[in-house]
Structure 1
């Protein structure tokens, strides 16, 4: 490890800059400002510049020799994150989540194999030109009566009946109609490919879903919060066996979203890179941010 990293007194946070501020401003995006309130060292990157591929412009406000850092900001594709990692390394800043680790945690094909026993059965394809042919094979492989469709990162729960839930996976026309509508709505934002996940009923007797987000750092559950979709719901999920799955994933900072199935079993419904996972409103984020900024590069 280079001496510039070993000599860094603290681990920094890299936050997205405020898009409404001046080009020289070091003010973070208001959405992430509270993260910075708990960190001794904060720098900003221009997320918009990074997304459009202007990587050097994106990192120009990061001080040279900053040392180890975590990114806390809006989602990035795996390729843009790799660009960010390389540009920061050139400036003497080491991202503590590598590009390969980011991809494993952020994209379903990366995390699904090690969480398969804890999450609904899933199949995926990156061949968008042959989705119709793939659907027949995928439905048989999944062996479920119903399914949901998503891409490698997101679903369209806001269009549940038309672009998310497939009530009868054996109905050829129905499954193709829902998948096509999902792809249409995602448009240029469709990430990676198409995923079918076996439908599991997470609705409680009241019709609500009991869910939580668990934040893991170096294999330990540092904090459990409400899920951003249901900030008013505070529960303590059963984490039995999840520590082994998180360890097998090999990523330092991840989140697991869990929901209680109608039979009472807690299931992982999503895994994510912790750097781009959101906090629910009203959450005390201090404990997690303090743990992050105390972390160091591996020896």
Structure 2
């Protein structure tokens, strides 16, 4: 749900004397990664943001990032012919053409602005990356779950990193972690806990049981 729709939803509920656990400002703060980036920048990929429909200088981006990926404030384009990343081989005219496609593919879901993130290689085990999603409720870790179909034998994110950012300004949010090829770990996404999906179906019952126990 786009932040402006969530804000309208909150207002309608208040008119009926119902109140959301996550207010609209907290929702926007965690739903849009650019708002979290200044806090976690030491533990995530370098990033720059641009207003929508800005013509970005691809040579400048190549000089800054080398390889880079494109997303809006919430999502990238997946399941299409849009490149996973761009590198030194892309020309300005080619990049401009891909950006036109980006706006078409995101359509009505386009949110906020454009994020350019440095593309980093993730470690793989038997073809699967090692990614996890952590749900935090009232600034405590509620549950950690696998999010890339990796084996149970894969290592978890470091305890210190999981707990380092649990006191972000929202009562219910998620952080996604990924292991890099050099075995270090980074945060790759943030999200509102209400709209972030359960990434490990085997933990669905546990997730809702723990959420119930928190309330």
TM category (shorter chain) comes to 0.7 to 0.9
Q: Aligned residue for 2:46? A: 121
- The 3-state SS of whatever aligns with 2:208 is helix
- 2:121 is the counterpart of 1:201: yes
Equivalent in the alignment of 1:284? 203
Task: Quote the offset at 1:89 in angstroms.
Answer: 1.6
**Which residue pairs with 2:105 in the alignment?**
185
Q: Counterpart of 1:95?
A: 20
In the alignment of these two chains, the number of paired residues is 213
Equivalent pair of 1:107/1:153 in contact (CA under 8 Å): yes
Regions of 4+ moved over 6 Å: none
Alignment root-mean-square deviation, CA:
2.5
Task: Map 1:102-141 onto structure 2 (within 5 A).
Answer: 102-128=27-53, 131-132=54-55, 134-136=56-58, 139=61
**Aligned with residue 171 of structure 2, among 252, 256, 259:** 252
**1:273 paired to 2:192:** yes
Shift in CA distance, 280/138, structure 1 to aligned 2, threshold 3 Å: same
Post-superposition CA distance 1:170-210 (Å, at most 9, x none): 74344333333222222232222211100100042644211
Residues 172, 183 of structure 1: alpha-carbon distance in 2 compared, 3 angstrom cutoff: same
Q: Which residue of 2 aligns with 1:154?
A: 75
Cα 1:164–1:244 shift into 2, 3 Å: same
CA distance in 1, matches of 2:211, 2:165: 21
Q: 1:242 to 1:174 in 2, by over 3 A?
A: farther
Structure 2 distance, partners of 1:294, 1:138, is: 50
Give the Cα–Cα distance (whole angstroms) in 2 for the partners of residues 124 and 94 of structure 1: 33
Q: Relative to 1, partners in 2 of residues 1:93 and 1:237: Cα closer, same or farther, differing over 3 Å?
A: same
Summarize the Cα distance change of 1:288–1:104 in structure 2 as closer, same or farther, 3 Å threshold: same
Q: Which runs of 5+ in 1 are unaligned?
A: 1-75
Aligned twin of 1:223: 143
Distance in 2 between the 1:188 and 1:169 partners? 30
- Return the TM-score normalized by structure 1: 0.64
Give the unaligned 5+ runs of structure 2: none
Question: The residue matched to 1:95 in structure 2 has which SS?
Answer: coil
Q: Secondary structure at the match of 1:157?
A: coil
Q: Indicate conservation of the 8 Å contact 1:166/1:178, yes or no.
A: no
Name the counterpart of 1:55: none
